[in-house]
Every structure is written in C-alpha cells, then in structure tokens.
Chain A
Amino acid sequence: MPRQERYDAIVVGSGITGGWAAKELTERGLRTLVLEAGRSIDPENDYVMTTQAWELPFRGRRDRIKQERERPIQRECYACDEWSEKFFVRDDENPYTTEDGKPFLWIRSRQVGGRSIVWGRQVYRLSDLDFEANARDGFGVDWPIRYADIEPWYDHVERFIGVSGQAEGLAQLPDSRFLPPMSLNCAEQHVRESLMSHFSGERVLTIGRCAILTANHGGRRACHYCGTCERGCTTHSYFSSLAATLPAAAVTGRMTLRPHSVVHSVIYDPTSGRASGVRVIDAETQETLEFHGRVVFLCASALESTRILLHSATERWPDGLANSSGQLGHNLMDHTMGGGAQGNISGMDDKWVYGRRPNGIYLPRFRNVSEQHPDFLRGYAYQGGGSRTSWARGNDMPGFGADFKHDLRAPGPWQFRFYGFGECLPRESNQVTLDPDRVDAWGIPVLNIHCEWSDNERAALNDMSIQAAEMLEAAGASEISTFIEDNPPGLTIHEMGTARMGRDPATSVLNGWNQSWDVPNLFVTDGACMTSSANQNPSLTYMALTARAVDYAVKQIADGEL
C-alpha cells in the first residue's frame, strides 16, 4: 500500500502556471501540495549570472560532444548554452518519438521554477481579434471566453509580476499595466518614426513588453542591464515562479513543495466521479507514492499535462482521462518563427547605447486586422531591433594585424532586423499520443508527437519576409536582405493546445473555467487549454487563465460544488 497524504489542492508543476496556481490557492486558504518532477534550484549556487566566458572550458561555445550525447534536442534552443544547459532536461532521460521527416522539437525544463527560469520574458495580451478568430473563420472551436472575461485577470497578474512597456492604445494588442518602458535605441526610434508616417499609424513599432522590472517592484530589484537573463538573475529582476509566485505561496505557510516528484497519473474515483489525487514516482528512490486532494490543477506544461491525462485512462475513458470529447491530444499548435529581413541604417554612426537591454522591439499584428489578406488567415508580429555589429564582423572583413584589431575595437554599422512570429491554426491532425513501445527513465510511456505546418503558416511566413523588407526600405535602410527560416514546430517553445477549452463538452476537453467537463475537480491551466494560438507570446495568458481558474475553483468549493 503506497504512502498517502491528503491536501486541499494538488498542483502538478512549479513553472509559470504552477507557481500562479500555488500562490492563488494558498492565499485563498487552501493547503496546497506542489509537485515538481525536477530538482530544487538555489539561485545562490545555480545561477551563473556573474560567470564570465573565460571561466568556462569552451568559453561559451558549449561542449559540443557532451551536448550531442545528453541534449541533442534541447541544444537547438539558444538558451541551452554552456552557462544554462543545466536548466534544460537531458534528452536521454526524457525521450519522445516523431515520424521520420516530421520533426518536432520539444524543449523542456524539469526543476523548481520550470521553464520560467529560462523563458523569453515577453508578455502580450490577447484581444477579441484573437478570442473571436476561430468563430470567425471556422478553424477549431469557439473560445468560451472573450477579452472582457480575462481582462481583470491580466490586470491582476501584471500588477504582481511587473511588466515594462509603452501604452500604444491598439485594439489588437491591448495595453498592459505598465512599469516605465525601456527605451528604444536611436535606430529603433528612427524606424518607428519612419513607419508611423509611411504607413499612417497602421504599423506601430514599440518597445518589447516584458516581465522585467524597470523599477523596484514587490520586493524585487530593478534590472541592472547585464543582458543575459537566461543565466538566472540573482536580483530577481525578471519574473520567474522561483523569484516571485512560489515565495508568495510559501509565505502563507500553506504550501508544501515536493521536488523529484514525477507524476505518473491522476487517480480517478468512479464512485464520486472525481479525481481523488495523483500517483507519483519519486525520481530519486523510484518509490510510488499517492497524494490526495480536493482539487487537482495540472500545470505541468501543455504536453506534459496532456501526457499525464493520456496515461490516466480508465474503464470509462480508455483513451485518456476526461476525454469523452475525443479531443485530448489533438489540436497541437506552436508559433511559426523566422520570416523577416535585415538591413543597415546609416546616418547615426556617432550614436550608440549604454548598457545591455534584455529586450527588443515589437511590431504588433497589422495583417487581417481590418481587411482580409488573400493568401492567409490570422496574423503575425515582429520582434527584433537595432544594434551595432561587434567584433564578430571581423570574420567577414578582409585583413589581419594591428589595424584590423583596432578597427574591431569600435562598434560597427547599425543594423536593424525584423523577425516574425506567426499564428498557427488549430488542426485536429496535429496531435500527441502515448507511444506504446517506449518509456522514459521513470518507466512512464513517452509521447509520440505528430505536428506539421500547413500552407497557411507558410504563406504568412512568406509575407513576413516581404513586409519586413518593405518596412526597412521605408526607413531608408541599405543592404536589405530577406530570410525565411525553415524551423520545425516546437522550437518557438510556444507549444500549446491538446486539451482545449470550448463551449461544448462534445468537442472540447475543458470548459470556460479551465475545468474538465468530465471530472469537475480537475483543472488544466497551462498551454494545453488554448483554443487558438493567436500570435502573441502566450505565457501572460496562461498566468491570467490560471488565476481566474483558481478564483472559480475556490468559489465552487465555498459553494459546496467541489
């Protein structure tokens, strides 16, 4: 008989949504168990913010052979470098399968704090252009919520995490509650002004909206502009669950955080029709444990939460727990990335920047906002920005010797780059299933992932590249070159869907409160819940939906419904 413990609430995962569930549940009085598959992280020892390149064996070039052996997939992520690779899973312990020629890159962290330690920190609200998208063009099912439903929860989350940015008053990209914006650099300011006049205000280049503090906030320090957040920030200037939500939950005295706890399955009690708890494998001892709770929140990341549900099949739901719709595992999405252009900006060689801003520009969606583009549905946005080239330009210059060295000492030409991120349509054929032939290091069946871009995504990527060049031309750039990268799905690390919210239990897994239609005390509030992808970086929406779902669950408990 496994050991048993009882809590008011169980949260699976301690990353960006698990931290929010933990904070909100404990602050509302629930004794909450947070289960994390990976190890504890101690910023004092684990963060490598002050480690310099010369202190590393390969000077930041990465240990190529070791990465090929241990992290052949994770290394595709820019942040999985010689400093920060320890914040990513080992692929040999965490396999998954794909069909030949149809790659999906699944980038993962297992540690207290999850991927919020290495995330991109860009935060954007969705708008009704996004929440109404499926209903408008018929792809996927209608979102069960609209902007007005989530707006107060965006406010709630932003007040706590701290978001720097510039209010622009755009309907398709509602403003957040902002801390002061980081400044645009001279090249970016020039491009902003050129686009404002050339496109009559339709294309607005603004500073990236990011969960990085530009003023002291909630006990965390303002950014010191060292520029490499993904190495961990000892002043907690960017938001992570480890820096902010988990400490807030701990302060209540009602959180039990258990690392090394790999969730095997959700335990379903057919008598009550509820989830009674979760089964866990202790990653260090391989012991099987059970934990019981009144409500269960799955916040393990989109594909891990879905994997747990698929692995929790019962007699009633042989294809996965809470799957009477048959939609569990389907409608996998990621954002496309990598259509764009770059060019040189002249006339400001006497100007430069001071400090390393961990943030770029954002140019919100302008396609299919007021009129329909003939080639594709939905839209895209650009990130990128201006910078002066570094010593690395020496690789493309003629020469060597004292003059060559001296030339590289000064900054090179100003360059500007637009790099697009596009919406992905929800399609039933993009799906994950359990692979019957393979298990991970803890004996749990792995996922088989099938995901492909469609012509719609490819057409938008193509347009990103054309429009980027047109905007650089409008800004007077020279030496403009376009690009369309061929990135496989997954690499944008915005994987989402597979347990979508909807209005109808026959076609969706979750209702408008992130609550399972089938098992009422089971909630899924990470990216799995997404009904469509929009084109904005999604973490802010996951956090807001999590806080909203907790509010609903707590009220249901108070009303005796749960």
Chain B
Amino acid sequence: MKTFFDELYENYHHDLFQYLIYMVKDRDLVEDLVQDVYIKVLKSYQSFDGRSTEKTWLLSIARHVAIDYFRKQKRKRNRIMGFFDWNEKGEQLKDHSSLPDEIAVQNDEMKQVYKALDNCTLDQRNVIIFRFIQGMSIQETAEILNWSESKVKTTQHRGMKSLKEMMDKPMEGGVQREA
C-alpha cells in the first residue's frame, strides 16, 4: 500500500493539492479532504480500469470529494438559515476569511480574480481551475469531469464570462484601472 501511495504522492500530489486549495480555499480543510481522497483512492485501486490515466482518475476522485464537501456545507447552511433572521443580522456578516499568504502578496488584480472565482458555479470553477490554473487540456478536463469535450468548452465559456462580469463591476469586487 505504501509503495502505491508513495508513487501517487510523488507524481500527482502537487496537482491534487492545487486543485483542492483553489476549490475550497481553506488550507486546514484541504488537509482533511486530501486524506479523504487518498483513502478513497487506495481503497478502490481495484476499480481503476486503466482507461484513464492515474492523474485523471485521482483528480476525478478529488472532484467528487470536493462536491461531497460542498453538498454537506449546503445542507448545513440550509438547516442554519431556518433559525437565522437574515433581514436583521445578515448585513452585519462580513467575509473575514483572510487570503492565503501566496495570494496576499499578489497585486490587486490577482486578488480580485481569486475572489471572483467564488461567483462562478462549481462546474465553472472546476473547469477554470483545471484548464487555466493547472494548464490541462480540454480532453484531460473532460476525462476528469466525465463530460464531453463540447460540454467542457461551453462551461469554460460561461465561466470566463461570469468571471469577466465580476471583474468588470468596480464597486462589487471589480478593479478600476486605466484604459
């Protein structure tokens, strides 16, 4: 088991960590999710049929782990919303999550793109991370997401449009800059 783990770690851990950290944006949480991914991968090795590469197989499991996390979050949020008066207290809530060190040292535009990712849907965010942050091809992205290539292209187009709209809004998160 350790040998197989070593091999996966050496070859793909960086890709796995990058994907999850840009998806969930919380280092502590990512550490937990990374563990879940490896446990699932190592326990389901026999189901790996070799039709995809180990990398796309690992990342597709990571994607499912991330989706599970977001679903649980959504359920939790829905439960809490029933007890919470959004009219009175909702405005007092602010996003206090600090930027990771690696992002905090970037220029304002980069910080805004990082924040604007939150306004994309999960599918759009998946495609944008795989395609442009991790530099994967449309084919690889389609394999990980188990989609057709045309669906990847469509989602990519919509995701970039959504990102652009966010960036172009000066007051709500966009950046003003000289023409």
Question: Do the two chains belong together in a single complex?
Answer: no
Binding site for B on A (CB under 8 A): none
Q: Enumerate chain B interface residues (CB-CB to A < 8 A).
A: none
